[in-house]
Amino acid sequence: MKYIGLFGLFMTLGLAENSRAQAPEVLHRNGYQLTILNQDQNFNPYLKKRMIQTFFEVYPKLAKAYNPKTAKAVTFIIDTAYTGVAEASANEIKFSSKYMTTHPKDIDVVTHEAMHVVQNYGNSMGPGWLTEGIADYVRFRYGVDNAGANWSLPAFNASHSYENSYRIAARFLVWIEKDTKPGMVRILNEELTSHTFTPDSWKKLTGKTLQELWADYAKNPMI
């Protein structure tokens, strides 16, 4: 047996442990595949289980409602180096292991990012605020435990703008569907997916420009 010394032994054990942490885990349910690439050997197994459960509960609903042609195989990367919260690219979602560990109740980060996979607008993404607003609208409608994360749509404030994106834009979309155009989000998503969305889409679909809609919303923002 070749003598590698204590340092070499520790390095070998560390590499082996890291290798085990990154071994892919492939799961199949109801026609969908989820691959987990976990870079954090200390990641809470229960939290990982909840992330998996949330994906398989929500993703098929989002696919049915917004894009039946969405990817059938999705990859989760639990990343120890990533300093954001989470991000999606094509059919891959990267999660910050640090964020998820320190915010274990924010499970509907999975829902938001899963919607980005469903959106996958390609090179013609449309306004960034609208893309993120739709994803948070979907989290509001389909989230499995927003209350547990103390996540909700904010009350309207006169300083708000739809360009604030995320929850502020999501609340605006909820209002549009309630007061002006039921099903508006699904239609907008279809246009963004087919690359037919233009700034004139708002007036075409509702009879009012985006600025006119926001002005009406500001006057009576109840949802």
The correct answer on CATH 1.10.390.10 for the domain covering 23-120 is yes
In this prediction, residue 124 carries a pLDDT of: 67
Q: Name the residue with higher pLDDT: 7 or 77.
A: 77
pLDDT the model gives residue 22:
63
- Does 116 score more than 50 pLDDT? yes
What is the pTM assigned to this prediction?
0.89
Mean pLDDT of the residues in the chain? 91
* Predicted confidence (pLDDT) per residue in 69-108, tens digit: 999 999 999 999 999 999 999 999 999 999 999 999 999 9
Residue whose C-alpha is closest to residue 186's, from 223, 140, 138, 151: 138
Statement: residue 23 has pLDDT above 80: yes
Q: What is the 3-state secondary structure (H, E, C) of 99-125?
A: HHHHCCCCCCHHHHHHHHHHHCCCCCC
Which residue is it, tokens 């923002």? 221
CB 67, CB 119: distance < 8 Å = yes
pLDDT digits (tens, 9 = 90+) for 53-73: 999 999 999 999 999 999 999
Q: Where are the domains of the chain?
A: 23-120, 124-223
Sign of the dihedral through C-alpha 184, 163, 76, 147: negative
pLDDT digits (tens, 9 = 90+) for 124-171: 668 999 999 999 999 999 999 999 999 999 999 999 999 999 999 999
